[in-house]
Amino acid sequence: MSANKGNKNTVTPMMAQYLEIKAQHPDALLFYRMGDFYELFFDDAVAASEALDIALTKRGKHNGEDIAMCGVPHHAAEGYFLTLIRKGFRVAVGEQMETPDEAKKRGYKAVVRREVVRLVTPGTLTEDSLLQARHHNFLAALGKVRDEFALSWADISTGAFHVMPVGQARIGAELARLGPSELLISEGVDEELREVLVEIGVETSILGNASFDSTAAETRLCGIFSVSTLAGFGNFTRAELSAMGALADYLDITQKGRMPMLRAPRQEAVSRLMSIDAATRRNLELTRSMQGGKADSLLSVIDMTVTAAGARLLERRVSSPSREIPVIHGRLEAVRWGLESGVTDSVRDTLRQVPDLDRALSRLALDRGGPRDLANIRNGIAQAEAISDRLEAVDLPELLQTSLEALRGQDPLLDQLEESLIAEPPLLARDGGFIAPGFNPDLDEARQLRDEGRGVIAGLQSKYSDLTGVTSLKIKHNNVLGYFVETTATHAEKMLSAPLSETFIHRQTTANQVRFTTVELTELETRILNAGAEALAIEKRLYESLKGAILDQAPALSEMAFALAEFDLSLGLAELARQRDWCMPKVDDSRAFEIEAGRHPVVEAALKSSGEVFIANDCALNAEGDKASVTLLTGPNMAGKSTYLRQNALIAILAQMGSYVPARSAHIGIVSQVFSRVGASDDLARGRSTFMVEMVETAAILNQADERALVILDEIGRGTATYDGLSIAWATLEHLHEENRVRGLFATHYHEMTALAGKLPGVKNATVAVKEWEGEVIFLHEVRDGAADRSYGVQVAQLAGLPTAVIKRARTVLEALEEGERGRTSPKALIDDLPLFAVAAQPEPKPVQSGPSEIEDRVADLLPDEMTPRDALQAIYDLKALLKK
């Protein structure tokens, strides 16, 4: 039954309150706080019980039908939130805003006042348990004013806030770069961009057009940052204001007026970043592998950071390589310093102890923090001071010198936090016990009274035991009776009789115990309870004071956090270069692309783990002036063409993000765009075949690539008829050469295309070398100048395990086709002349064998302990030759 079908005149006051709150949030599951549980009712309960795999029960009647109900403990709610968010739900958290006793002051039947204090959505998570520490959680908004678009994004768990104008054609690429958890979009625009949004797979929330009003946005943003004008932050377009305003409006709605701590908006420009579209990111597996996880991605094999903030910064750099030469050089110099410095290990050891300052600050600003976040700020400042002291007299490159300066200046706050907090505070302020003894005299006095009261209770118990002669007498406490004297039932008559009955007042009798109180015990309980409550109240006031002191320094602490992340990233990349023997690339404004002994970082790491060696290869795409430079790569499948293509694109991305690269040397002229069309897959949900997907991706490249683009294409045209495919591949290469004038690698099995090297000055042939031995192909994985004479497809099919009869038949057909090609005989005529497969593929009868076979005799004669590696290899070849007889 749907909750909105209820008639409030026929429901209880509590259910009427529930229905009223639910009506305000119809698109979210309402977690309705009732004591120690969050309860869900009606359709929400049905949906939640199925999604969370918890029991569905019933409670009372509504319009004559049972009310569906389920619930979860409030202390474990975060885990349930995460499960629901991942399954596409949103959650409205309805909290009790007063105690039952406070409600009763308004009337005996008054319902405890409840309000939704927060909407939990994918882009507004802040709790550590709901987030991945080493990944950003971006909330993005796409604004449109007239025909101009802008994209704004923020991570409220760290305070990052950015905005940039974006052309409609670039929206998909930028969303793929950011990977937002949630995208805010206005009514109407969602239909206009439906295809792009479906391709990216982003979770969208549609807001009314009023949220995107650019004029109201300017006023709203000025209020958030307490300024009279936004001019100090940048010259924003109306579309940018629209996007930022929608984001701010959504945060106000979901956080119920508790605006998270956002840094001043940082204006970015597309022209400053390397452009990588969504298909290319998938093909190159930059931050996610084809399987969808981080494992086996580029990010996974280069991440040697030791802090969460450093890991997030690395992910941003991998996703957004720079096109600004001074920025790239500054980052490379920082890595070089880390590689050559003798203090790198000690600084990294200190960085390992740095907590996540950004997320601690964010939780404190949203009032979701606790004493442990105060301690994290204290510990982070302390480690920053230690690094500052360690590097004070060290000559640093400009980037790290600037970062070092941001680590200083928080001594007063550090002193205050060190004096006030114990070493390891509890998670929640309500637990108390986190303020250090001696910091506040009033707190010490309250604690002393509370703690002495406990000692007095123990003395009073001993006194009463002596008075009554009951050695088993105990003074206990529970939430119903408070403190009470308890004896076993065997002593009940004695305690209830004079003279003891004059001192001990009967309170309760249970099956095995009798409970009493005394005037003295009641007075002592009042003193103890008041002291404990007073101590906790003082600690809460001190917590608010310390939180305020931290938030007053929030901008400086954010800069400190970023500086620590910069140190972590630079030194992590230096350690990567040291361990993997990577080189410092030369990056300039030329159109050079020259890699000596380049390697694929992910494949090399995988081979190394299994004890194998990666075969390095050179790549030269040195374009003169504005001319093209394309290498046409031929060779068999499984020879490593795709690996070669990908590794050179990854080397360019690594170089421009400011990292050393897996090569002996590298000279890279700035790459503006990287395009990749490698691999094949269909898109059935959108009615696209493998070939259609291939053509769509190729069209995007031909329509967008400029002369500074790096393009890698693999097997264009393979998804259709041979001549169709050849003609498409031929025309594509010509267009890349003549119109786009790119630097590129073009792998193909159409050997006819090698003739283009003699017609187009910017095209040269290269091949992946193989060796054929006794009908089998051996892959050498070496890229050489020249063209392959064939593709060795039948040999690869044999390696894949196709039946022998199929392989033999394939060889027969191939020989006939090749002979016909030489004689210009039509393929159809050749096929008509061939015998049917069933006739040609009759399996040869196997001879009946008696006694050991020749192979068994050979194996028996082998003496492994006396053989050299070469002898062993030759023996294997000999045995394989016997198998073919």
**Sheet strand arrangement including 266-267:** 204-207, 182-186, 139-145, 148-155, 160-166, 266-267
> By CB neighbour count within 10 A (0-12 exposed, 13-18 middle, 19+ buried), where does 556 fall?
middle
418 Cβ neighbours under 8 A, 6+ residues apart:
378, 382
Taking alpha carbons only, the member of 561, 529, 527 closest to residue 379 is: 561
Give the span between the Cα atoms of 766 and 523, in whole angstroms.
95
212, 857, 861, 863, 883 from 867: Cα distances, Å: 78, 17, 12, 7, 22
601, 605, 661 from 580: Cα distances, Å: 9, 9, 9
617 annotated binding-site participant: no
Taking alpha carbons only, the member of 213, 217, 161 closest to residue 186 is: 213
Around Cβ 592, how many Cβ atoms within 10 Å? 20
640 annotated binding-site participant: yes
Give the span between the Cα atoms of 645 and 746, in whole angstroms.
8
Contacts 24+ apart (CB under 8 A), 474-478: 475/521
In 728-750, which positions are buried (b, 16+ CB within 10 angstroms) versus exposed (e)?
bbbebbeebbeebbbbbbbbbbb
Sign of CA dihedral 656, 659, 662, 665: positive
Token reading at 235: 């010259």
Q: What is the CA radius of gyration of the chain?
A: 36
What three-state secondary structure class fits 84? helix
587, 589, 778 from 796: Cα distances, Å: 39, 43, 10
119, 148, 172 from 180: Cα distances, Å: 18, 21, 12
Give the span between the Cα atoms of 720 and 702, in whole angstroms.
19
Token reading at 154: 């923020």
641 annotated binding-site participant: yes
**Beta bridge partners of residue 735, listed in sequence order:** none
What three-state secondary structure class fits 456? helix
Backbone angles phi, psi at 708, to 5 degrees: -100, 10
Give the span between the Cα atoms of 618 and 828, in whole angstroms.
43
Strand segments, DSSP code E, in 131-194 are: 139-145, 148-155, 160-166, 182-186
Amino acid at 849: Q
611 annotated binding-site participant: no
Q: Within its chain, how far is the Cα of 72 from the centroid?
A: 27
Token reading at 701: 């490249």
Specify whether the CB–CB gap between 364 and 258 falls below 8 A: no
636 annotated binding-site participant: yes
Locus of tokens 């308004």 = 106
Around Cβ 773, how many Cβ atoms within 10 Å? 10
610 annotated binding-site participant: no
Taking alpha carbons only, the member of 50, 32, 182, 75 closest to residue 121 is: 182
**Sheet strand arrangement including 482-488:** 474-478, 482-488, 513-517, 505-509
State the binding site.
635-642
State the binding site for ATP.
635-642
